[in-house]
Amino acid sequence: MASQNPGTFFLHSLEENLRSQLQNWFSVGFVEMKEVTWNSPASLLERIIKYEAVHAIEGWASLKQRLVGPGRRCFGFFHASMEDEPLVFVEVALVDKISTSIQEVLQEDKYVKAAEAGGAQSGQFSPSTAIFYSISSTQAGLSGVDLGNFLIKQVVHRLHLEYPSINTFSTLSPLPGFLPYLFNKIGKVSSFFFFYIVAPTQT
């Protein structure tokens, strides 16, 4: 067997060393979870629009719908050396029940309109469900660092402290290619079966 090219070996070793260093520098112990709100710096909000990888944010109006109101929250991990650059962020909808479509989640928080009409107070907000509908990693070089999993765990902990009424944590994140695969496997009963999975009736 031919020996490995010295140049290739050096580059491979360098890559592994850099990956190890990045994993240490950006480990959970060196990052801080912060909430992103409509009042966050414009430079940060622009990055949220840019980096959103699941459900595209079409502009400022679309972003506002995801950040304004007690039922719309966004959290991210930040490093001290990159204060306005989220490493990963997750968007959450606090609602009364599990939504059956992403369109319901992306609509304006109904509590915003209620508050504007004088019909809702902050103390009256008692959601039962938290839906994680989008999570985006912004740095390709950190693909080996599992920040998303730790972020979700911290967000769950925080939301549960803020709203003890929450008893269900769910996700509407898409599975690319899953629907065609499912339809191919179960044939004629696919529509019924898929509906049952995403929107089971309560008994």
Per-residue pLDDT of the chain (203 residues; tens, 9 = 90+): 445 566 676 566 655 555 555 555 555 567 889 999 999 999 999 999 998 988 889 999 999 999 988 899 999 999 777 777 888 899 999 988 888 788 888 876 776 655 555 544 545 788 999 999 988 887 765 555 667 788 888 999 999 999 999 999 988 765 555 556 555 655 544 444 444 444 444 43
pLDDT value at residue 13: 61
Is 1 inside a domain boundary?
A: no
The answer on 194 and 142 residing in a single domain is no
Please check whether residues 131 and 190 belong to one and the same domain.
Answer: no
CA dihedral 87, 79, 160, 146 (to 10 degrees): 50
Task: Please give the backbone phi and psi of residue 23, each rounded to the nearest 5 degrees, phi first.
Answer: -65, -35
Same domain, 126 and 203: no
CATH code of residue 49: 3.40.630.180
pLDDT of residue 174: 58
Residue 198 is part of which domain span? Answer: 175-203
Same domain, yes or no, for 76 and 114?
yes
160 and 74 within one domain: yes
Checking phi first, is residue 17 left (phi over 0); if not, alpha (psi -120 to 50) or beta? alpha
Q: What are phi and psi of 4, to 5 degrees?
A: -70, 140
Do 116 and 48 lie in one domain? The reply is yes
Are residue 197 and residue 161 in the same domain, yes or no?
no
pLDDT of residue 163: 93
pLDDT at 191: 43
- Cβ atoms within 10 A of the Cβ of 11, count? 11
Specify the 3-state DSSP secondary structure of 119. coil
Q: What is the pLDDT of residue 192?
A: 42
Do residues 98 and 187 both lie within one domain?
no
Q: What is the DSSP letter of 123?
A: G
Residue 43 DSSP SS3: helix
Q: Which residues of 100-125 are buried (b: 16+ CB within 10 A; e: fewer)?
A: eebeebbeebebbeebeeeebeeeeb
In-domain check, residue 15: yes
CA distances from 95 to 35, 111, 164, 165 (A): 18, 10, 13, 11
| Total number of domains in the chain | 2
Same-domain status, 53 and 104: yes
Question: 20 and 82 share a domain?
Answer: yes
Residues 141 and 182 in one domain: no
For 81-99, letters b (16+ CB in 10 Å) and e give eeeeebbbbbbbbbbeebb
User: Considering the domain boundaries, does residue 4 fall inside one?
Assistant: no
Return d(Cα 63, Cα 195) in angstroms, integer: 29
What residues contact 93, with CB distance under 8 A and at least 6 apart? 71, 72, 73, 99, 105, 130, 131, 133
Question: Is 2 contained in some domain?
Answer: no
Q: Is 6 inside any structural domain?
A: no
- 98 found inside a domain: yes
Structural domain contains residue 116: yes
- Say if CB 111 and CB 70 are below 8 A apart: yes
Q: Are residues 144 and 48 in the same domain?
A: yes
